[in-house]
Amino acid sequence: MGLREYLFFLGRDTCLCSMGQRIHFVVDPQGWCCMGLIILAWLYNTVFIPKVILFPHYEEGNISVVAVLCYYFCSLFCIGSLLRASVADPGKLPENPKIPITEREYWELCNKCNMMRPKRSHHCSRCGHCVRRMDHHCPWINNCVGEDNHWLFLQLCFYTQILSSYTLILDFCHYYYFLPLKKENWDVFVFRHELAVLRISAFMGLIILGGISRLFYTQLMGIFTC
């Protein structure tokens, strides 16, 4: 079986069961690329910020170990929430849903997949199925945001804001608040190109923080005004 036949057999998405929890996996190369960019940005800051700022200032007594541990905890929470939101079932409707008699008036026929669905459900053209209380399809997590994973998406937005803010604060404090570092390791590549490394980090932090903050605000407003 070739790759094309395998993907056709697999379908647009796959749902597995792990310890009673549905795992949702979307086969979408564009989504994989978008999610890969997010992981690369996370990996860049998780590697270079401790190496350039946290560890050197900790060794010279400018910051405490709490600052280092907090950064790693924020980083782990961020990547953990990203992975959970990307593989969680958003609320995909089964092929033959059992409709209670008392709720039939609240169901309608989807004209795209010809399946019955409850009202406020929407059809995702990228995933190829209907999702209960679908909010939108997010390419950055390669998944829909629906009834069952909306709280995970909000959690991801919250942790991403914390990590981006923390990164920007460290970038600022490194130049304008912390004591200058001793030039013991400045023959290392990252220290010889420290300015470029931190400018890239600050640029990514500003872009991600601005986009996520706006998205988080609109999500909360949508919940409170529903």
214 to each of 39, 86, 142, 209, 217, how far by Cα in Å?
20, 20, 19, 8, 5
- Among the options 124, 138, 144, 157, which is catalytic? 138
Provide the 8-state DSSP code for 105.
Answer: G
What stretch of H or E contains 216? helix 194-224
CA 6 to chain centre: 28
Instruction: Answer yes or no: 138 catalytic.
Output: yes
Q: What sign results for the dihedral spanned by CA atoms 43, 45, 51, 54?
A: negative
Measured CA to CA in angstroms, residue 213 lies from 74, 85, 114, 138 at distances of: 16, 17, 37, 15
Q: Is 58 left (phi over 0), alpha (psi -120 to 50) or beta?
A: alpha
Q: First vs last Cα of the chain: how many Å apart? A: 48
Nearest CA-CA partner of 148 in 22, 11, 26: 22
Query: Is the Cβ–Cβ distance between 31 and 152 less than 8 Å?
Result: no
Which residues are tagged catalytic?
A: 138
